[in-house]
Amino acid sequence: MFSNSLIELDRAHLVHPVASYRGHERTGVRVLRSAKGATVTDAAGRELLDGFAGLWCVNAGYGHDSIVEAAARQMRELPYATAYFGLGSEPAIRLAAALAERAPGDLNHVYFTLGGSDAVDTTVRLIRNYQTVRGKPEKDQFISLEQGYHGSSTVGAGLTALPAFHANFGLPFAWQHKIPSPYPYRNPAGSDLEAIIAASLAALRAKVEELGPERVAAFYAEPIQGSGGVIVPPRGWMKAMRDLCAELDILFVADEVITGFGRTGPLFACTEDEVVPDLMTTAKGLTSGYVPMGAVFLSNRIYDTIADGAGEAAIGHGYTYSAHPVSAAVGLEVLRLYENGLLENGRRAGTRLQAGLQSLADHPLVGDVRGRGLLAALELVVDKARKAPLPAAADPARRIFDRAWNNGLVIRAFGNGILGYAPPLCCTEAEIDAIVERTRRILDQTL
């Protein structure tokens, strides 16, 4: 039962990620107690539609007994096996093989992590290793996008461009560089999609020129920038950037931690743009949030170069919980569910969500509606012509989040008045319609 003592215990002891510690002490915790399908129930017994799949991760939806059974079975049989020193477990091997089979191009080698941040960290270390053993150790500069998010580890947070992840942390490092986000709604190159692609290509070329082409190791991009505000680059943008990276001898890393596993329709979003990255990071939907796990995909060339570079020596990169058998067993069952109806349902639900949110485009507060599949955003403005954002002093994120909650809807409210959506793939038509209707109510109450 919801109790004041739980709130007090939380206030006194639990440090919350990406929160104002003092602000949280004032407002107190909202405790969730249970969940089923796309519905979460709070400690007071109120049901809410989870329009954000936890933290864009519970792609399969809540309460799948078969996932629970897969985890329980694995825990009974073999709750832990290290993948160090050439040891292993059956589910980890089978999951790596299943993922490689479905991954774009020759991304045939899978390195398991605990989540997205350490997946990004892993890419940085492996890329440094790759560039060194191929005889280019001076390639040690990394480029990513403004508004990009690549996690919260020491290295990944530096590739991340969101200000809160830098303030007072002394980041990013001198070897981490940014170029502007394509951001169609607010691009200085205007809204012409070809011009936006051309501007990004020019910006990458200029940055590489500035750093010295022989110094640049890799470029990182999310197929859709999630935490930056669900920014959808023009079609063809990723392919153009990928091709330029190949031309400039820079590795292209697709960070699919949010976009992977059906969020935008297919299993991996980069396949929609016919892009085969050199490395790809995933997490979240890989286990649908039931247990932690991430996966880094390496192309044959990257893997073989690193392998040959070390020869018989061990490559010193690993985590105790890499390739955890319980997470892998969950991953296999989640993948089975995706391919037995969930991806298909997600695609239908995604089309309905995009159409539903588009129907709000003429609302006086809505400046932009964007997204793909079950990943979407509304960008609110106080003046559509000038695209003037909601005043930050009014704390739109907190107010909109609270308003959504009071209307029985969980969404992501970004600080700059952007509403983010990432509902589970299991959503019914009625649930998608309810997300849209509740959003209309929230907008009317925000006027």
What is d(CA 6, CA 358) in angstroms, rounded to the nearest whole number? 41
Task: Identify the residue among 151, 172, 285, 424 touching ligand PLP (CB under 6 A).
Answer: 151
- How many residues are recorded in the chain? 447
**Residue with smaller CB distance to ligand PLP, 258 or 296:** 258
Task: Identify the residue among 218, 254, 258, 404 touching ligand PLP (CB under 6 A).
Answer: 258
Sort strands 216-221 and 251-255 into parallel, antiparallel or unpaired.
Answer: parallel
| Shortest Å distance, C-beta 382 to ligand PLP | 28
| Shortest Å distance, C-beta 422 to ligand PLP | 10
**Residue with smaller CB distance to ligand PLP, 17 or 311:** 17
Assess 165 for contact with ligand PLP (CB under 6 A): no
Task: Identify the residue among 257, 267, 280, 411 touching ligand PLP (CB under 6 A).
Answer: 257
Assess 426 for contact with ligand PLP (CB under 6 A): no
Task: Identify the residue among 51, 91, 104, 226 touching ligand PLP (CB under 6 A).
Answer: 226
Q: Which of 373, 305, 339, 366 is nearest to 109 (CA)?
A: 305
Assess 150 for contact with ligand PLP (CB under 6 A): yes
| Shortest Å distance, C-beta 150 to ligand PLP | 5
What is d(CA 354, CA 349) in angstroms, rounded to the nearest whole number? 9
Q: Which residues pair with 252 in a beta bridge?
A: 219
175: tokens are 């070897």
Assess 120 for contact with ligand PLP (CB under 6 A): yes
99: tokens are 């993922």
Assess 116 for contact with ligand PLP (CB under 6 A): yes
Near ligand PLP in 273-292, by CB under 6 A = 283
**Residue with smaller CB distance to ligand PLP, 120 or 425:** 120
Assess 227 for contact with ligand PLP (CB under 6 A): yes
Q: How far is CA 234 from the centre of its chain?
A: 18
Element (H, E) at 119: helix 116-133
Part of the chain binding ligand PLP (CB under 6 A), chosen from 99-107, 254-262, 299-307, 397-405: 254-262
Ranked by CB distance to ligand PLP, the top (closest) residue is: 116
| Shortest Å distance, C-beta 332 to ligand PLP | 19
**Residue with smaller CB distance to ligand PLP, 95 or 283:** 283
61: tokens are 């939806």
**Residue with smaller CB distance to ligand PLP, 54 or 356:** 54
**Residue with smaller CB distance to ligand PLP, 18 or 246:** 18
| Shortest Å distance, C-beta 266 to ligand PLP | 17
Report the sign of the C-alpha dihedral through residues 362, 366, 367, 369, in that order: negative
How much is the CA Rg of the chain, to the nearest whole Å? 22
| Shortest Å distance, C-beta 237 to ligand PLP | 16
What is d(CA 261, CA 263) in angstroms, rounded to the nearest whole number? 6
126: tokens are 């492996």
426: alpha, beta or left? (left if phi > 0; alpha if psi -120 to 50): alpha
Cβ-Cβ contacts under 8 Å for 411 (sequence gap 6 or more): 51, 52, 400, 401, 404, 419, 420, 421, 439
Local structure of residue 341 (DSSP, 8 states): I
Near ligand PLP in 296-335, by CB under 6 A = none
**Residue with smaller CB distance to ligand PLP, 95 or 375:** 375
**Residue with smaller CB distance to ligand PLP, 152 or 351:** 152
Contact (CB, 8 A) for 250 and 208 = yes
| Shortest Å distance, C-beta 118 to ligand PLP | 7
Q: Which of 423, 289, 265 is nearest to 356 (CA)?
A: 423
| Shortest Å distance, C-beta 259 to ligand PLP | 8
Contact (CB, 8 A) for 147 and 231 = yes
**Residue with smaller CB distance to ligand PLP, 255 or 368:** 255
| Shortest Å distance, C-beta 225 to ligand PLP | 8
Local structure of residue 354 (DSSP, 8 states): H
Assess 255 for contact with ligand PLP (CB under 6 A): yes
| Shortest Å distance, C-beta 269 to ligand PLP | 11
**CA angle, residues 245, 279, 153, in degrees to nearest 5:** 105
Task: Identify the residue among 117, 122, 147, 287 touching ligand PLP (CB under 6 A).
Answer: 117
Contact (CB, 8 A) for 415 and 397 = yes
Supply the angle between the helices 65-77 and 325-337 in degrees, to the nearest 10.
150
How many residues of this chain interact with ligand PLP, rule: CB under 6 A? 14
**Residue with smaller CB distance to ligand PLP, 226 or 389:** 226
Q: Which of 288, 264, 286 is nearest to 275 (CA)?
A: 264
Q: Which residues bind ligand PLP (CB under 6 A)?
A: 115-117, 120, 149-151, 222, 226-227, 255, 257-258, 283
